[in-house]
């Protein structure tokens, strides 16, 4: 059996075990843990959207909390004021955030690096205040926000002693949406579009010389990234069943960026690890120190970055590469010589 066949077999076995674990997990824990796992999936989609922009295209954003808020409020208003089903709010919230992100991409064309970060930071600071504006209170609820009702499951049963209630139904609903978003991102980034985004990030002049439309790609990337985050916001509104302006401060934008860095830049699976970090590590820090949880969180983040400067996926990639290298010698038939010989014809003088 070849190494490729063996690795492929283990990959599918691992994927099957992961699927079984994901299906059984909500019935092994109490409702609050299920709620936390729901938020992990929501944040994973949001971090994936930011990673498309920052990791693959090299545009730094500190304003994705604003797109998350727009998606959440769009879903909340549609459900509370217009009676739209919760599942139908996802594409509408994504479309709205895509439009806002695409428009935001145009002024970003003349900005880069920390200048773009400051511009997007202004958006993150402005949106919560705009949601409190008096003329919009009839729609946004002002400082009081909007209280929603969690959707009931289509059917009920008990498994492993746990009922199939609203939180567990939302877990499977959020899991399916997250899988769809991850598959969309994988299909988008593995082909021409992904190569174009990486070329713009690493060598923008060369990418333009090769015929890549920098302005259009940057604007579309901003729009797609905002759409992913908007869908996550709509999911978050349904899972939490409440939205308010104070829930979407600039801290949320910073946490999303932290999730991107912790999971690994330009890594699709890394979004899940980043979501686990920003959901559970603050709780762990709070349990370690009630007086200074932020300080503990900062120390844990510094230690993690010192041990894994390329993120969790970067560490896993290095470990996997070492395993492949130490798996055994390369067969003689496929071995590559240390020095590639130059053909005699190319060494002769004209």
pLDDT tens column, 172-214: 999 999 999 999 999 998 888 888 888 888 888 888 888 888 8
DSSP state of 54: I
Average pLDDT over residues 131-149: 90
pLDDT digits over 29-87, tens only? 999 999 999 999 999 999 999 999 999 988 889 999 999 999 999 999 999 999 999 99
**133 within some domain:** yes
**229 within some domain:** yes
What residues contact residue 58 under an 8 Å CB cut-off, 6+ apart? 200, 201, 202
Q: In sequence order, what are the beta bridge partners of 242?
A: 147
**337 within some domain:** no
Counting the structural domains of the chain, the total is: 1
Cα 120 from chain centre = 18
pLDDT of residue 330: 46
Q: What is the pTM of this model?
A: 0.88
**269 within some domain:** no
**31 within some domain:** yes
**242 within some domain:** yes
**What is the rounded CA–CA span in Å between residue 346 and residue 350?**
9
Average pLDDT over residues 128-145: 90
Count of alpha carbons within 13 angstroms of residue 198, beta-carbon side: 11
**71 within some domain:** yes
Query: Which residue range forms the structural domain that includes residue 166?
Result: 27-153+160-250
Q: In sequence order, what are the beta bridge partners of 147?
A: 242
């Amino acid at each position: 059996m070849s190494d490729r066949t063996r690795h492929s077999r283990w990959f599918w076995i691992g994927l099957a075990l992961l699927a079984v674990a994901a299906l059984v997990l909500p019935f092994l824990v109490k409702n609050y843990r299920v709620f936390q796992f729901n938020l992990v999936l929501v944040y994973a989609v949001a971090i994936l959207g930011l990673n498309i922009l920052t990791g693959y295209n090299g545009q730094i954003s500190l304003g994705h909390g604003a797109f998350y808020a727009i998606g959440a409020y769009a879903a909340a208003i549609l459900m509370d004021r217009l009676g739209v089903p919760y599942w139908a709010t996802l594409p509408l919230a994504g479309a709205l955030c895509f439009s806002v992100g695409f428009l935001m991409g145009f002024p970003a064309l003349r900005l880069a690096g920390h200048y773009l970060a400051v511009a997007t930071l202004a958006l993150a600071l402005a949106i919560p205040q705009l949601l409190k504006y008096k003329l919009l209170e009839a729609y946004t609820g002002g400082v009081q926000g909007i209280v929603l009702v969690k959707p009931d499951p289509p059917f009920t049963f008990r498994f492993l002693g746990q009922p199939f209630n609203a939180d567990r139904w939302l877990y499977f609903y959020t899991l399916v949406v997250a899988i769809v978003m991850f598959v969309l991102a994988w299909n988008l980034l593995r082909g021409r579009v992904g190569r174009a985004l990486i070329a713009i990030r690493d060598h923008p002049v060369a990418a333009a010389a090769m015929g890549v439309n920098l302005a259009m790609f940057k604007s579309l990337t901003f729009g797609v990234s905002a759409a992913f985050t908007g869908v996550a916001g709509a999911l978050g509104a349904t899972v939490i069943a409440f939205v308010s302006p104070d829930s979407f401060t600039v801290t949320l934008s910073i946490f999303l960026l932290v999730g991107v860095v912790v999971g690994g830049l330009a890594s699709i699976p890394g979004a899940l690890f980043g979501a686990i970090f920003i959901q559970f590590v603050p709780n762990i820090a709070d349990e370690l120190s009630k007086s200074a949880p932020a300080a503990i969180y900062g120390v844990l983040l510094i230690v993690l970055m010192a041990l894994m400067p390329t993120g969790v996926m970067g560490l896993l990639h290095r470990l996997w590469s070492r395993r492949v290298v130490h798996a055994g010698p390369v067969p003689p038939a496929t071995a590559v010589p240390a020095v590639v010989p130059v053909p005699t014809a190319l060494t002769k003088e004209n």
